[in-house]
Amino acid sequence: MRRVLGLLPAAVLVAGCGFSGLQDLPLPGGPDLDDPYTVTVEFRDVLSLAEHATVKVDGVTVGEVVGIDRDGWHAEVELVVDGDVALPEDATARIQQTSLLGEKFVALVGSPRDGQPRLEDGDHIPLSRTSRGSEVEEVLGATSLLLNGGGLENLRTISTELHTALDSEDVDTRRFLQELRTFVTTVDEQRDTIIATLENLDSLTRQVNDGRETVERALRTLGPALAVLADQRKPLVAMLQQLDRFGRISATVIRETGANIVADLQALQPVLTALQLSSEKLPESVEAILSFPFPDEVLRAARGDYVNLAVEIDLTPLTILANSTGLDLRGPEERR
Report pLDDT for 97: 86
**pLDDT at site 81:** 93
Give tens-digit pLDDT for 47-79: 788 888 999 999 899 999 999 998 888 899 999
What pLDDT is stored for residue 2 in this prediction?
Answer: 39
Q: Please tell me the predicted confidence (pLDDT) of residue 180.
A: 85
The reported pLDDT for the residue numbered 108 is: 93
For range 261-270, the mean pLDDT: 85
Distance CA 244, CA 229 (A): 20
Give the model's pLDDT for residue 25: 56
The pLDDT, as a whole number, for residue 16 is 45
* Confidence tier at 274 by pLDDT (50, 70, 90): confident
pLDDT tens for 154-204 read 667 777 777 776 666 666 677 777 888 899 999 889 999 999 999 999 999
Domain boundaries of the chain, sorted by first residue: 32-138
Instruction: Give residue-wise pLDDT tens across range 9-30.
Output: 444 444 445 555 555 555 555 6
Mean pLDDT of 141-164: 68
Other C-beta atoms closer than 10 Å to the C-beta of 68 total: 15
Beta-carbon-side half-sphere exposure of residue 136 (alpha carbons within 13 Å)? 9
Given a cut of 80, is residue 239 above it in pLDDT?
yes
Task: Report pLDDT for 314.
Answer: 73
Whether residue 233 has pLDDT greater than 70 = yes
DSSP one-letter string for 14-29: HHHTT---GGGSPPTT
More confident call, 298 vs 59: 59
**Tell me, what's the pLDDT at 33?**
82
Q: Which residue has the higher pLDDT, 151 or 320?
A: 320
Interhelix angle 173-189/191-210, nearest 10 degrees: 60
Of all residues in the chain, the percent with pLDDT exceeding 90 is: 21
Instruction: Decide: helix, strand or coil at residue 66.
Output: strand
Share of the chain above pLDDT 70, in %: 68
pTM value > 0.85: no
- What pLDDT score was predicted for residue 130? 92
Specify the DSSP element, H or E, that contains 228.
helix 212-231
Bigger pLDDT: 263 or 80?
80
* DSSP code string of 67-106: EEEEETTEEEEEEEE-TT---BTT-EEEEEESSTTS-EEE
